[in-house]
Chain A
Amino acid sequence: GQQLNQSPQSMFIQEGEDVSMNCTSSSIFNTWLWYKQDPGEGPVLLIALYKAGELTSNGRLTAQFGITRKDSFLNISASIPSDVGIYFCAGYTGNQFYFGTGTSLTVIP
């Protein structure tokens, strides 16, 4: 099946640092989505991107829909302890969703 390559797999950062993660695919997507999942909970939608080149922010989070429509990036600025969790990208083809394998973020106070 479709694979989204998400990197890095894990990150350990100091509180206050910025974070970048990305997701790439061999296929084109109509929509890119970014989620955060806390232990024992379902994912929570953070940002949705609808067209190539789009740059969207949600507070300290900024995500971009790659121009080729095959990739997306998520940046978190000035990280805080509650940013800890697993971040997933997802691509929507028009009738199917595909998820990346996640980036585990640890923020060291």
Chain B
Amino acid sequence: DAEITQSPRHKITETGRQVTLACHQTWNHNNMFWYRQDLGHGLRLIHYSYGVQDTNKGEVSDGYSVSRSNTEDLPLTLESAASSQTSVYFCASSESRAGTGSSFFGQGTRLTVV
């Protein structure tokens, strides 16, 4: 069965370290998204990609980067982790750019920056 998986599920890192969160989907979706979820803010879009070699900034992209070298993967990198980046991170993929049709979220990565 097709799926979308995130790894790791939990991570603790130190301030200033570079961290990469993985997202892998086997739906063959062109459209992939990264969100962070914090209490009181709902989900906020960090970066998104509409296909290989395409990346775009979302609402809260500062301090984050993504790369899309193939259809299946969209890794999210925190260049220099900060305590303000402690959050739950969700990756999503969808059939359409609007997130409609076949559309799925991963189970999330809980990141703690100490």
0 or 1 for each of A27-45: is its CB under 8 Å from B? (1 = yes): 0001101000000111111
Q: Which residue of A lies closest to B39 (CB)?
A: A101
**Which of A33, A50, A96 sits near B58, CB closer than 8 Å?**
A96
Q: Which residues of chain A are near B42, meaning CB under 8 Å?
A: 4, 6, 88, 99-102
B40 touches A101 (CB 8 A): yes
Given A1-B60, A42-B107, A45-B99; A101-B90 close (CB under 8 Å):
no
Q: How many angstroms from the CA of A99 to the CA of B18 in the assembled complex? A: 28
A42 touches B99 (CB 8 A): no
Interface residues on A, range: 20 to 34
Question: Chain B: residues with CB nearer than 8 A to chain A?
Answer: 33, 35, 40-45, 56, 58-60, 90, 92, 97-101, 103-108
Q: How many angstroms from the CA of A4 to the CA of B40 in the assembled complex? A: 12
Near B by CB (< 8 A), chain A positions 39-62 give 40-45, 48, 50
Does A12 sit within 8 A of B, measured CB to CB?
Answer: no
Q: Which residue of B lies closest to A97 (CB)?
A: B45
Q: Which residues of chain A are near B45, meaning CB under 8 Å?
A: 96-98
Q: How many angstroms from the CA of A99 to the CA of B35 in the assembled complex? A: 10
Q: What are some 10 contacts across the A-B interface (CB < 8 A)?
A: A30-B98, A31-B100, A40-B108, A45-B99, A48-B99, A48-B101, A92-B99, A96-B58, A97-B58, A99-B43
Q: Which residue of A lies closest to B60 (CB)?
A: A1
Q: How far is the CB of A91 from chain B (nearest CB, A)?
A: 10
Q: Which residues of chain A are near B59, meaning CB under 8 Å?
A: 1-2, 96, 98
Q: How many angstroms from the CA of A40 to the CA of B103 in the assembled complex? A: 18
Q: Which residues of chain A are near B40, meaning CB under 8 Å?
A: 101
20 additional A-B pairs beyond A95-B56, A96-B45, beta carbons within 8 Å, are A1-B59, A1-B60, A31-B99, A40-B107, A41-B105, A42-B92, A42-B105, A43-B90, A48-B99, A48-B100, A50-B100, A88-B43, A92-B99, A96-B59, A97-B33, A97-B45, A99-B43, A101-B40, A101-B41, A101-B42
Q: How many angstroms from the CA of A22 to the CA of B50 in the assembled complex? A: 30
